Structure 1
Amino acid sequence: MKKHFSLLLILISFQAFSQKIPIPGSVKRAISQTDTVTIRNHIAYLADDKLKGRMPGTEGYQMAVDYVVDQFKKIGIQPGGDPGQYTQKLILRKSVVNNATAVATLKDKNGNEHSLLFATDFLPYPHPMSAKASGEGTLVFVGYGVDIPGLYSDYDGVNVKGKVVVMVAGVPDGIPASTLISHFSSPGNKMNTAFAKGATGAILVNPAVPFTNPNPTLQSNVALNPEKTTAYGRGFVGNLGFALTGSKSFLTGLFLNSGKNLDQVLVDIKSRKNSSFEFPFTFSASYTNTQSEFDSHNVVGLIPGSDPRLKNEYVVHSAHLDHVGIGRPENGDSIYNGAHDNASGVASLLEIARVYKNGKAKPKRSVLIVMVTAEEMGLVGSSYFAANPTVPKSSIVANVNTDMPTVIAPLLSVVPLGAEHSSIMGNVKFAADYLGLDVEADPEPEQNRFVRSDQYSFVVSGIPALHIKYGNKSNVPGFDMDAFIKEWRAKYYHRAADGMDGIFNFTAAKTYVQLNFLISYSIANTLEKPRWNPGDLFGMGSN
């Protein structure tokens, strides 16, 4: 049923995109001349040991920033960052829980108190906005903690204002698309929903994941605005007084004294039977956080539009410039170079910029080439840019994100994550048809890839977005592309082995660049700006 629903959305989007975009001869020549040597050279520099894994806040990351700025200048791309600059400055803050300070208490209606045990009953989320997190309130069970317009809400029938919500990981049955499942199951989204409903604190329980470390390091990273009044990231951004993870034993204990059967309630909420209720307890929690800050930068280049009116609208290409730095040694190597993740994505965008310039492409809308920081820290740089872009936020019509293209085999089919929610799917079909590529549905929805890359930051800001991933089509009879990708990922993904001596298919890299260029080019030249599909849940909050 879910697959049929997704295919229906794809068909609707294909039909909605009926306008053919003319491609001038100069642009066609530039597309055909996409340079695999240049792509390889970009990757080789960004993945060199001297950049030491491009961790934000290090000299290596600054070298990557300087390299991209220099390439923008050589290509002829205009500054698109802070006024007159190629960079957008932001503040990154790391928060670490001081475990010894973490306390939590239950009080029943008779005034009896019960102290909970750190790392047995609860673990705190670091609070990015306060050195001390604290709060109290009546406990309210809110099922999965989801609020899905027109479909289902765990908040129906309960008032959580000034209270502490308890919710379980996951989502109910019946959510139709894998991208929506990823979104509504995201802890960050659940925390934001609790805050929007007026809760003062939140406790998220995953009954399937036990606590195993008695003294864990609990840390988070966010971006701050210059006034340090607002945090941006994919997870908990400090809008609640506190946020905790609760253990299954903690949840079981609450239910033993509630008059409710936990197993039955879990079955009921799975089938979308609202089972929210108020516990006969008051809950309080407090803990302190050690915080440190440093400056980092997104890098932004501008290709101005040619149409007098449409040039004030923008299509954003994005790719993350950072990686994870220096880590645990593997086979004597401790530098995690990130050649595929995401030097290859940055190289792709630099080549896309070159295709625009070499082809003398004059897109009607303007195009921004944005290399974001701190994706590996939780989509932090893109969260900041999407909420605080260097152009008016309402003028951004679409995002085309590039993250770890995984160009390790011939690229014959693609998976446009997120495109099924908007008319952008038509632009994908236009570009794929031009290149003779097949378009497939996500073969690994359980990976939740849609909320793990920077396009998600744009989507939650109301901007239609997509992220092209590899498909499973192969030109070798009997070859199992899915198994090959999984074996590759186990060896290279976030591993020290992800260097230039790994597996690369630069013909596939060329095709990937051509595809993403054509997607943005067609969006930039279509008179009607991208729109969410009718009734799409992501489009409900669009600008």
Structure 2
Amino acid sequence: MVKYLLILFCVVSFCASAQQVQVTTNIQQAMDRIDTNAIRSHIAYLADDKLKGRLPGTEGYQMAVDYVTGQLKQIGVMPGGDKGNFTQKLVIRKSVLNNPSSVAYLKNASGKIDTLSFGKDFTPTPHPLKEQTAASGGLVFAGYGVDIPGGYSDYAGVDVKGKIVVLVAGAPDGLRSTLTAHFSNAGNKMNTAFEKGAVGAIIIENTARQSTNPNPVIQHNVALNPAKTAAYGRRFTGTLQVVLSGNKNLLLKLFAATGKEAEAVLANIKSGKPSSFMLPFSLTTSYATTHTDFESYNVVGLIPGSDPKLKNEYVVHSAHLDHVGIGRPVNGDSIYNGAHDNASGIASLLEIARVYKSSNAAPKRSVLIVMVTGEEMGLIGSSYFAANPTVPKASIVADVNTDMPTVIAPLLSVVPLGAEHSTIMNHVKFAAGHLGLD
């Protein structure tokens, strides 16, 4: 039960005020009200075979939405979604590459054209907003594609407007682990390239193995607004005209005519020394994408704060409601129930909401209980909510996400990913210290 106490106590302390919090009788009594049997019951329902793995777009996922909505109503949580409802509607789009349509040509400084081989030299990323897309431009090697204001920048000294940038997966050494994860994310690289004026990107995966499948299924998932005019996700959201992936052999081919040693350049950027430059090639590429759309829902509940001023600020408790559905059988069982991932997290949120509502330790800030769709499809439900929250974006002061809480092992220590970038770290330390955790 300690893991639920930590989550609840941390946020109760944060919701209370920005000052150091004393463990009042009301707060202690609230923590003592956690009902592990209720948590177990929620997990049992959400992971039952009849929900068939809670894949978005299926009856099983809708059953999960109906269940948690009913539980929030029963607890007394207010609707926090669209138009006074508990749900936030979005469209999930599956984009699949039309492999035969994929072409790419390199042209060197003397005009010689080299036709690249699909699957061997390059693989396009399906475009989430266009059925047909194409681009042509000079190539610029831009390292990791990282741009940190006042710090490391792969774009210093190079003009990529109208160009196609060649980027390497990863990030330079010396960053905090959370920053490394952020700047290594392909979507961040693409968005930064777009902001710098590039029309396309080639992302080199140095460790990628060449596929032996001559006709692989290349699929990319995003969330769309109901009007289908904007895409949201952690990877390609349609900002650039084209995105290709390539391997180290392609990088070596591009470096061969530059007089630069690829390994030396890679070592430089790894050590934090930007080494960007124009490549003596231009690229022309085009490809087609097939789209399949269906509606899905985030679930949002609201617990109003008790302080007249602080109630206009929001602390979010989030967890993903979906899992992966039906897949390859394991010992004859093809339903991937997702009890730990992440029925346990949703059950935690329901119990935390119940404790908030049934105790005398009412938070001063308002609390949003947010259960998102499409996490297993690429964090797309959470990306949609982050871009389109159901309350003013600037009023959200913290988000404590619960994914696979350690219900199957003792909780001995806490590693609050990302908390070092926020004043919430002080509250995490306070809560962990009170509960005797490292």
- TM-score bracket relative to the smaller structure: over 0.9
Aligned position for 1:109: 109
Between 331-340 and 266-275, the greater mean CA deviation after superposition: 266-275
In 2: Cα distance, 1:325 partner to 1:78 partner: 30
| Amino acid of the structure 2 residue aligned with 1:182 | A
Aligned position for 1:379: 379
Aligned position for 2:5: none
In 1: Cα distance, 2:312 partner to 2:247 partner: 50
Aligned position for 2:268: 268
Aligned position for 1:467: none
Aligned position for 1:320: 320
In 2: Cα distance, 1:20 partner to 1:303 partner: 23
Equivalent pair of 1:27/1:355 in contact (CA under 8 Å):
no
Per the alignment, do residues 272 and 30 of structure 1 end up closer, same or farther by CA in structure 2, a change over 3 Å counting? closer
- Note the alpha carbon deviations across 1:275-301, whole angstroms, 9 max, x for none: 211111110111100001011000011
In 1: Cα distance, 2:260 partner to 2:409 partner: 54
Q: Which has the higher contact order (CA 8 A, sep 6+)?
A: 2
In 2: Cα distance, 1:171 partner to 1:225 partner: 31
Between 268-277 and 116-125, the greater mean CA deviation after superposition: 268-277
Pairwise mapping of residues 27-66 of structure 1 onto structure 2 (< 5 A)?
27-66=27-66
Aligned position for 2:436: 436
- Note the alpha carbon deviations across 1:473-530, whole angstroms, 9 max, x for none: xxxxxxxxxxxxxxxxxxxxxxxxxxxxxxxxxxxxxxxxxxxxxxxxxxxxxxxxxx
Aligned position for 2:9: none
Aligned position for 2:227: 227
Equivalent pair of 1:195/1:239 in contact (CA under 8 Å):
yes
TM-score, normalised to structure 2, is 0.94
| Amino acid of the structure 2 residue aligned with 1:379 | L
Q: Match of 2:82, SS?
A: coil
Aligned position for 1:529: none
Q: CA deviation at 1:362?
A: 2.2
In 2: Cα distance, 1:225 partner to 1:236 partner: 16
Q: CA deviation at 1:273?
A: 2.3
In 1: Cα distance, 2:23 partner to 2:85 partner: 31
Q: CA deviation at 1:250?
A: 1.3
| Amino acid of the structure 1 residue aligned with 2:127 | H
In 2: Cα distance, 1:280 partner to 1:20 partner: 59
Aligned position for 2:203: 204
| Amino acid of the structure 1 residue aligned with 2:227 | E
Q: CA deviation at 1:18?
A: 8.5
| Amino acid of the structure 2 residue aligned with 1:210 | R
For structure 2, the 5+ residue unaligned runs are 1-16
TM-score, normalised to structure 1, is 0.76
Q: Match of 2:415, SS?
A: strand
Q: Match of 2:84, SS?
A: coil
Q: CA deviation at 1:146?
A: 1.0
Q: Match of 1:37, SS?
A: helix
Equivalent pair of 2:30/2:361 in contact (CA under 8 Å):
no
In 2: Cα distance, 1:359 partner to 1:390 partner: 26
Between 19-28 and 59-68, the greater mean CA deviation after superposition: 19-28
Pairwise mapping of residues 175-324 of structure 1 onto structure 2 (< 5 A)?
175=175, 177-212=176-211, 213-324=213-324
For structure 1, the 5+ residue unaligned runs are 1-16, 439-543
Aligned position for 2:365: 365
In 2: Cα distance, 1:328 partner to 1:406 partner: 26
Q: CA deviation at 1:145?
A: 1.3
Q: Match of 1:151, SS?
A: coil
Equivalent pair of 1:223/1:231 in contact (CA under 8 Å):
yes
Equivalent pair of 2:207/2:247 in contact (CA under 8 Å):
no
Q: Match of 1:148, SS?
A: coil
| Amino acid of the structure 2 residue aligned with 1:195 | F
Equivalent pair of 1:28/1:359 in contact (CA under 8 Å):
no
| Amino acid of the structure 1 residue aligned with 2:389 | P
Equivalent pair of 1:101/1:287 in contact (CA under 8 Å):
yes
